[in-house]
Amino acid sequence: MPPQEIVGRLLAGVQKDLADLRPALMERSKAAAEVAKKDLAEIAVKESAALAGLLEAQRDRIRKAATTKDSDQFELDLSDPVERRQREADRRHWQRRLDSLEKELVEEPKRVAESYEVRAERLEPIGIVYLWPRQS
């Protein structure tokens, strides 16, 4: 460690040294920010497409289940009022879910993509290192 007098001089000049380094640091941080934005944009596209695929698959499964004839099922006895009411309740639920899925297919992939947008950038120096030769 350098003598205390040297440490005091270095500490006194930290703000000036940071001000002198700021232009080079800003240039490096802008380059790093651009790379990060590009990476985030790629992730956003993949994530929103994956979500859209999941929602579409769910919609397709519900449509298939809703259009399947009762005779294609395991010989449901729809003469039983309880089973008939349950089947009708299922169909109403499926229709509500299909309606909400159409809305989600428009909104949710967009929301996911927007969550990857960079909303703020700042450069904050968190430290500075001075190298000092050992005394022999």
Residue 69's pLDDT is: 57
pLDDT per position as a tens digit, 6-47: 889 999 999 999 999 999 999 999 999 999 999 999 999 999
Spell out the SS3 assignment of 52-88: HHHHHHHHHHHHHHHHCCHHHCCCCCCCCHHHHHHHH
The pLDDT confidence band at residue 135, using thresholds 50, 70 and 90, is: confident
Number of Cβ within a 10 Å radius of residue 33: 13
What's the distance, Cα to Cα, between the start and end of the chain in Å? 12
Give 96 or 75, the one with higher predicted confidence. Answer: 96
80 pLDDT exceeds 70? yes
Q: What pTM value is reported for the model?
A: 0.67
Dihedral of CA 33/34/38/41: which sign? Answer: positive
CA distances from 108 to 37, 88, 96, 118 (A): 21, 29, 17, 18
pLDDT per position as a tens digit, 86-117: 888 888 999 999 999 999 999 999 999 999 99
71 pLDDT exceeds 50? no
Residue 91's pLDDT is: 85
Residues 6+ apart with CB under 8 A from 9: none
Residue 111's pLDDT is: 96
Rg (CA), the chain: 31
DSSP state of 133: P
Number of Cβ within a 10 Å radius of residue 21: 12
